Structures are given as structure tokens and as C-alpha cells.
Structure 1
Amino acid sequence: MAKGKGVRVMVILECTRCVRNEVNGASRGISRYITQKNRHNTPNQLELKKFCPYCYESTIHGEIKK
């Protein structure tokens, strides 16, 4: 029998500042992190402050859809 989806799911966090700072349709890069979250404890989208190597500082990284 197939089991249902687990409680913990994989999510991708993307830098919100790099996405907005595109110059002429091209950016230097977009920082992404992969992590897990508990679906029952945090049903809304996850936002964490992580280091972005393209911005050279800690910025807000938000959850994106796969």
C-alpha cells in the first residue's frame, strides 16, 4: 500500500533581493537554499534570513513553488 505524504516536506528558499535587482533582464545570480519544514506547524510560506553570496550580506529568503 502507498503511504500518504509525510509531515516534513522539502522547500526551496530564494533570495528576495536578487530576484528584484535584475539589470536589463539579467542578474548576477540567485541564491537558493534547500531545507525542510513541518507542514502542520508552519502551514504558511517560510521566510528565513540567510547569507546571499551575490548580495554579500544576510537577506530574507522566501519559499518558492517547485
Structure 2
Amino acid sequence: MPKSKFSENMIKIRCGNCKRINYYTRKNKKTVEKKLELKKYCKWCRKHTKHTETKK
């Protein structure tokens, strides 16, 4: 089965407080060089926290 073109760009987004992986998203690694940092809702913390990109 051929590899999906989206699987290469998929990254994990981890909560800054509880360190759980809550989200998966895509990132263009050619244009964005820094780690992705977003403010998203964490269902375990039950509040909006800072989420950062993790290693694969």
C-alpha cells in the first residue's frame, strides 16, 4: 500500500501542563522551521493551555 502524502507532514501537539498528546495536525516543514506553539483546549486539564509540537 502506498504511503500517504499527508503522513509525512503529520505532527503531534502536546499539552504544556499535563504533557498529554491531544491533537494531531499537519505542518509544512519547508516553510516553518520553528516548533509549532498553539493555545488549544485540553480535555484533561479542562482549560485552554499552551500546546507545543513534539518529536515523532
TM-score class, shorter = 0.7 to 0.9
Q: CA offset at residue 18 of structure 1?
A: 0.6
Question: Of the two, which has the highest radius of gyration?
Answer: 1
User: Structure 1 runs of 4+ off > 3 angstroms?
Assistant: none
Structure 1 length-normalised TM: 0.66
The gaps in structure 2 that reach 5 residues or longer are none
Quick one: percent identity of the two aligned structures?
A: 39
Structure 2 length-normalised TM: 0.76
Aligned length: 51
CA RMSD of aligned residues (A): 2.1
Q: Secondary structure of 2:32's match?
A: coil
Residues 43-58 of structure 1 aligned to structure 2 (within 5 Å): 43-58=33-48
